[in-house]
């Protein structure tokens, strides 16, 4: 396969940045999208050019690092997939492919396609934990959890903190991420002591960091590689009002 890549290149946080075109040939449709970038980077290095900086770690859809907007869509054209699990067979031979970083004010570009997502860490620090001493692992049935709650908590816990929801949202809101974390802990017995303060503090931190408000456009859930449903935000709103939060 041959692809024409138009890639966002930005030397550093202060650089204006620009799209740069690269023709990449001799690609296999079975390559992952990141392997294709590896190939391009090797060729750039051989020519003495600066390789393209991009984030990645696990390359198996669990770490949430591979944050790329591909042809205008976070994580690219395939639904419910991370960029690292996207393969070139999803593209046509000869296609022009635009590759950009997440674009949201609280995620400033560090270099090329790498953004600073530490704003998510700050939201977690505000309440994404429990205070119960964990000690050694208890028997699985020692703390009974109703099955529907366990299933819903597990579903929310699948959030990998990738930030695609923010990149897709016209308001730059991180409400789906925040709601996933609030729901995951708020449905379990161990999460009850901080349930009220958690939701109020995490939403306040979300807003302070400059993420936008949710207007239920639903773009977040479409872009989410883990299929976190939109009604997770409704659960957050319910908990937030019950806890007496005001925005
Ligand atoms: S809610 Fe989905 S899109 Fe948002 S950070 Fe979590 S996994 Fe990524
Ligand atoms: S590199 Fe870990 S989810 Fe893509």
pLDDT > 80? residue 245: no
- Averaged pLDDT for residues 141-166: 95
pLDDT > 90? residue 166: yes
Q: What is the predicted pLDDT for the residue at 209?
A: 98
Q: What is the predicted pLDDT for the residue at 135?
A: 78
Express each pLDDT in 187-225 by its tens digit: 999 999 999 999 999 999 999 999 999 999 999 999 999
For the CA of 56, the nearest ligand? 2
Q: What is the predicted pLDDT for the residue at 247?
A: 62
pLDDT > 80? residue 7: yes
Q: What is the predicted pLDDT for the residue at 138?
A: 79
Residues 6+ apart with CB under 8 A from 15: none
Report residue 65's pLDDT band, with 50, 70 and 90 as the boundaries.
Answer: very high
- Averaged pLDDT for residues 7-17: 98
Report residue 164's pLDDT band, with 50, 70 and 90 as the boundaries.
Answer: very high
The pTM of this model reads: 0.95
**Where does the chain hold its CATH 3.10.20.30 domain(s)?**
3-111
Pocket residue to mutate for ligand 1, from 104, 226, 232, most atoms within 8 A of Cβ: 226
Express each pLDDT in 24-64 by its tens digit: 999 999 999 999 999 999 999 999 999 999 999 999 999 99
118-133+141-242 classified as CATH 1.10.1060.10: yes
In whole numbers, what is the pLDDT of the chain averaged over residues? 96
**Where does the chain hold its CATH 1.10.1060.10 domain(s)?**
118-133+141-242
pLDDT > 90? residue 142: no
The reply to whether ligand 2 has any atom less than 6 angstroms from the CB of 164 is no
The reply to whether ligand 1 has any atom less than 6 angstroms from the CB of 36 is no
229/236 Cα distance (integer angstroms): 12
Report residue 70's pLDDT band, with 50, 70 and 90 as the boundaries.
Answer: very high
Percent of all residues in the chain with a pLDDT value above 90, rounded to a whole number: 93
Q: What is the third-level CATH fold of 3-111?
A: Ubiquitin-like (UB roll) (3.10.20)
Contacts made by residues 7-13, CB under 8 angstroms, sequence distance 24+? 7/52, 7/99, 7/112, 7/113, 8/99, 8/100, 8/101, 8/112, 8/113, 9/52, 9/112, 10/101, 10/109, 10/111, 10/112, 11/111, 12/110, 12/111, 13/108, 13/109, 13/110, 13/111
Pocket residue to mutate for ligand 1, from 74, 79, 169, 180, most atoms within 8 A of Cβ: 180
Contact 205, 242 (CB under 8 A): no
Ligand 1 atom nearest 64 alpha carbon: 8
The reply to whether ligand 2 has any atom less than 6 angstroms from the CB of 82 is yes
- Averaged pLDDT for residues 4-8: 98
DSSP string, the chain: --EEEEEEE-SSTTS--EEEEEEE-S--TTSBHHHHHHHHHHHHHHTTPPPPP---S-SSSSS-----EETTEET-SSTT--GGG-BGGGS-TT-EEEEE----TTS-EEETTEE--HHHHHHHHTT-S--S---SPPPTTSS---HHHHHHHHHHHT-----HHHHH-TT---HHHHHHHHHHHHTSGGGSTTHHHHHHHHHHHHHHTTPPPP----HHHHH-TT---THHHHHHHHHHHHTT---
Q: What is the predicted pLDDT for the residue at 140?
A: 78
């Amino acid at each position: 396969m041959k692809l024409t890549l138009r890639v966002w290149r930005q030397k550093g946080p202060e650089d204006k940045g620009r799209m740069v075109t690269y023709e990449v040939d001799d690609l296999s449709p079975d390559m992952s999208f990141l392997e294709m970038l590896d190939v391009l980077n090797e060729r750039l290095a051989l020519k003495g050019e600066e390789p393209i900086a991009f984030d990645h770690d696990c390359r198996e859809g669990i770490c949430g690092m591979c944050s790329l907007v591909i042809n205008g869509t976070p994580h690219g054209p395939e639904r419910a997939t991370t960029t690292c699990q996207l393969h070139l067979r999803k593209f046509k031979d000869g296609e022009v492919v635009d590759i950009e970083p997440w674009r949201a004010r609280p995620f400033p570009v560090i270099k090329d396609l790498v953004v600073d997502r530490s704003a998510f860490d700050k939201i977690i620090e505000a309440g994404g934990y429990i205070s119960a001493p964990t000690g050694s692992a208890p028997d699985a049935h020692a703390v009974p959890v109703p099955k529907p709650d366990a299933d819903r908590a597990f579903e929310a816990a699948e959030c990998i903190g990738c930030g695609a929801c923010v990149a897709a949202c016209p308001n730059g809101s991180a409400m789906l991420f925040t709601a996933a974390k609030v729901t995951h802990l708020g449905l379990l017995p161990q999460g009850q002591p901080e349930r009220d303060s958690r939701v109020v503090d995490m939403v306040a931190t979300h807003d302070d960091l400059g993420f936008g408000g949710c207007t239920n456009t639903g773009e977040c859930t479409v872009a989410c590689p883990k299929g976190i449903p939109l009604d997770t935000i409704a659960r957050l709103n319910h908990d937030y009002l019950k806890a007496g939060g005001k925005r």
